[in-house]
Chains A and B, each alone.
Chain A
Amino acid sequence: AQSVTQLGSHVSVSEGALVLLRCNYSSSVPPYLFWYVQYPNQGLQLLLKYTTGATLVKGINGFEAEFKKSETSFHLTKPSAHMSDAAEYFCAVSDPGGANNLFFGTGTRLTVIP
């Protein structure tokens, strides 16, 4: 079965500082991994995804994530936080050999301090 664990339900960073949101996954097969962002009163929007190939994945709004099989991790980073990055971020995993359903983590709320 697939699952993800997001370490830290709340993360605060100063504007211009590095953003690091942690995600570890559990999967019996090589997984597909996703990061979604949710702004207040909005649905979830895909930031980036890893399926196969290059392990460093770049997404929208300057975010990127690196798939590290040895660490079973898929941490999300951004070099310099912007006020508009304040939102909730969800990591998700799916099984490439199974159905299309995504298993979401519990989310991390990012606060950006001016």
Chain B
Amino acid sequence: DAGVIQSPRHEVTEMGQEVTLRCKPISGHNSLFWYRQTMMRGLELLIYFNNNVPIDDSGMPEDRFSAKMPNASFSTLKIQPSEPRDSAVYFCASGGRAPNTEAFFGQGTRLTVV
């Protein structure tokens, strides 16, 4: 398996623009997580899905952030409009079907909002 695939790896955008981050989880996994990593706040869980259904989005910073998982093989995290403080590395991770297996992480998307 190719692992969790995220795109793009790097994104530079201007403040106010819409940004969409993409994630393809490992085939057969039923949990998907979006994390944000910054120097100031470390690793934060934004939202996670189980069987394509959002379970907990309490980590989503504000209404500008939205996430979708239309099917088991694809998820998006959208920021609209983007702000400089959204600059961070965004990770997607997926987990298997057995209870509480580990999460497998993608390489991350480094977002810079200027």
Contact = CB atoms under 8 A, between A and B. Distances in A.
B99 A104 contact: no
Given A32-B100, A101-B33, A106-B42, A43 B106 contact: yes
A46 interface: yes
B45 interface: yes
Q: How large is the interface on A (under 10, 10 to 19, 20 to 34, 35 or more residues)?
A: 20 to 34
A96 B56 contact: no
A51 B100 contact: yes
Contact of B48 (A34, A95, A99): A99
B50 interface: yes
Interface of A: 32, 34, 36, 42-46, 49, 51, 90, 94-96, 99-104, 106-107
A50 B20 CA distance: 35
Among A36, A44, A49, the one with the most B-chain Cβ atoms within 10 Å of its Cβ is A44
A40 B4 CA distance: 18
Contact of A101 (B45, B105, B108): B45
B107 interface: yes
Given A99-B55, A104-B42, A43 B108 contact: yes
Q: How large is the interface on B (under 10, 10 to 19, 20 to 34, 35 or more residues)?
A: 20 to 34
A42 B55 CA distance: 27
B95 interface: yes
A99 B58 CA distance: 14
Nearest to A44: B105
23 contacts: A34-B102, A42-B107, A42-B108, A43-B91, A43-B93, A43-B108, A46-B104, A49-B102, A51-B100, A95-B100, A99-B31, A99-B48, A99-B55, A99-B56, A100-B101, A100-B103, A101-B55, A101-B56, A102-B102, A104-B43, A104-B45, A106-B42, A107-B43
Nearest to B9: A41
A29 to B, nearest CB: 11
A102 B42 contact: no
A107 to B, nearest CB: 6
A49 B101 CA distance: 9
